[in-house]
Each structure stands twice: as structure tokens, then as C-alpha cells.
Amino acid sequence: MTITSQYIWPNHDDTYNKMTKSLYMSYSQNV
């Protein structure tokens, strides 16, 4: 269970960071 979590979370963080960055970029362009 712990190993699975350690494997998933880094990928999740990377995806989350990319998603947040693109949302922020589109928000900046709209404003």
C-alpha cells in the first residue's frame, strides 16, 4: 500500500502542477 502511494503521488503532483499552470495561464490571458 505504501509503495503504491509513493509511486502514484509524484505522478499526481506533476499532473496537478501542469494542470494548475495551464489554468493559471488561461486565466491570465482572459484577464
d(CA 5, CA 25): 30
Q: What is the pLDDT of residues 1-31, one digit of tens each?
A: 455 555 555 556 777 778 888 888 888 787 6
* Assessment of whether the complete model's pTM goes beyond 0.75: no
**DSSP helix/strand/coil, 1:** coil
The pLDDT of residue 25 is 82
- What pLDDT is stored for residue 4 in this prediction? 54
